[in-house]
A and B are shown apart, each in its own frame.
Chain A
Amino acid sequence: MSTIWQEFSKGLWKEVPPFRFVLGLCPTLAVTGKVSSALGLGCGVIFVLMVSNTLISIFKQYIPGKIRVPVFIVIIASAVTIVELMMEAYFYTLYEVLGIWIPLIVVNCLILGRAEAFARKNPVRLAVADGAGMGLGFTISLVVLATFREVIGSGTWFGLSVLPPSYIGFDLVQNPPGAFICLGLLLALINLISAKTESKRQEC
């Protein structure tokens, strides 16, 4: 039980995907203009990551080593197609907002990275836990960045206004260049926190 929990929880802070490894950056920047779209894409990624991790872990003995990457990609692409069709059928507005970013989950390096680094070497239950944890960590990071950008950029959170109406949105933060700057500042903050806790531990 404890190992499942370990594999799950490492995705949440210690190895949280977009911040620690700088994997899967493209969607991190593109969909974080609004919290709702960040959450939507995050859920898609959780689903794809869990499906691909599970399938790859089940079939790991049968996948020849030399052509494993194409096989992984086909598995991932199938999961992404499921997400795409489901979103088009049941969440059409979200589908419209995310647009090209749903098919692009295929080339998110995070998913292939987990398949290669974890799922093909570990039993199914650990692979599922790893997929869920990494996916959740990814989603939380997206939502954190989106919160930052939406609140400062337009004074709303999840479409609800949280700042007084006299607040004039800071447009730059919502623009594409602002996304880079926000992520840069956030990474710097995480570095700072990590360095602080590290030095504290050494003092003890």
Chain B
Amino acid sequence: MGDYLLMMISAIFANNILLIRFLGLCPYVGVSSNVNSSVGMSGAALFVNVLASTFTWLVYNYLLVPFQLEYLRTVAFILVIASLVQLVEIVLQKTAPALYRALGIYLPLITTNCMIFGTAVLNINQDNAFFDAVIYAFATAIGFSLALLILAGLRERFAIGKVPNMMNGFPIALISAGLMGLCFQGFIGLGQ
């Protein structure tokens, strides 16, 4: 149990997927200008990340490894993720229309989110066991949501503050993300 806790803290803070590992930055700067859309994106990312890591782990270990097709990893994973997102979209639309509406356009956007693909590849590179892989995916998605929500809050403040013209928009968002990253890095040493 302690190991899992440590792994989660490490994945959420010290090795935050966004600020330290730089995965999933496009939605990070894209949707973080307001809190509501960030909540939608976080929800969709959490959901798909756990599912995608589960499926890609199974595909890799029970399909690619036995047939010695490891070199097809990239193609296989991206196909699994793309079809999974489609499937989730269709299933949600039928079974949970409220959730589907809440996630909205963020669900299809997730296909090209490098966080999903990155987590799947990292799980393989780190030789995670099945349960570890699922926990890891969950924790990275939580880390993503945390960083996204904090930045969205900050950017809503910038919108009403006085920012120099040339810094407006992306530059100020990136610099504040950097300062946030410094705080997150302070947790190094807590986990591994």
A and B from one complex: yes
Chain A residues in contact with chain B, CB under 8 A?
22-27, 29-30, 69-70, 73-74, 77-78, 80-81, 84-85, 99-100, 103-104, 106-109, 112, 172, 175-181, 183-185, 187-189, 191-192, 195
CA distance A29 to B22 in the complex (A): 7
B79-138: which residues lie under 8 A (CB-CB) from chain A? 79, 82-83, 111-114, 117-118, 121-122, 125
Of chain B, the residue at the smallest CB distance from A182 is B178
Does B185 reach chain A (CB closer than 8 Å)? yes
Question: Contacts A26-B22, A184-B170, A184-B172: A104 and B117 contacting too (C-beta < 8 A)?
Answer: yes
Question: Contacts A176-B181, A181-B178: A73 and B171 contacting too (C-beta < 8 A)?
Answer: no
For A184, list chain B residues within 8 Å (CB): 167, 170-175, 177-178
Q: List 22 A-B contacts (CB under 8 A).
A: A29-B22, A70-B82, A73-B79, A100-B122, A103-B77, A103-B121, A104-B114, A104-B118, A107-B113, A108-B114, A172-B182, A176-B181, A177-B182, A180-B178, A181-B174, A183-B174, A184-B167, A184-B173, A184-B174, A184-B177, A184-B178, A187-B170
CA distance A173 to B23 in the complex (A): 19
The dominant DSSP class at the B interface is: helix
CA distance A26 to B119 in the complex (A): 14
The size class of the interface chain B forms with chain A is 35 or more
For A27, list chain B residues within 8 Å (CB): 22
Using A30-B21, A30-B22 as known contacts, list a sample of 13 further A-B pairs with CB atoms less than 8 Å apart, ordered by residue number in A: A25-B26, A29-B25, A69-B111, A70-B79, A106-B74, A112-B112, A175-B185, A176-B20, A177-B179, A177-B182, A184-B174, A185-B175, A188-B166
Cβ 8 A contact of B23, one of A26, A77, A81: A26
Does B43 reach chain A (CB closer than 8 Å)? no
Contact with A along B26-47 (1 / 0, CB 8 A): 1001000000000000000000
CA distance A24 to B26 in the complex (A): 7
Q: How far is the CB of B23 from chain A (nearest CB, A)?
A: 6
The answer to whether A100 and B71 have CB atoms under 8 Å apart is no
Of chain A, the residue at the smallest CB distance from B86 is A70
Of chain B, the residue at the smallest CB distance from A31 is B22
For B77, list chain A residues within 8 Å (CB): 103
Of chain A, the residue at the smallest CB distance from B185 is A177
Cβ 8 A contact of B19, one of A104, A176, A195: A176
Does B78 reach chain A (CB closer than 8 Å)? yes
The answer to whether B29 and A107 have CB atoms under 8 Å apart is no
CA distance A20 to B167 in the complex (A): 14
Question: Contacts A175-B185, A181-B178: A26 and B114 contacting too (C-beta < 8 A)?
Answer: yes
CA distance A192 to B19 in the complex (A): 26
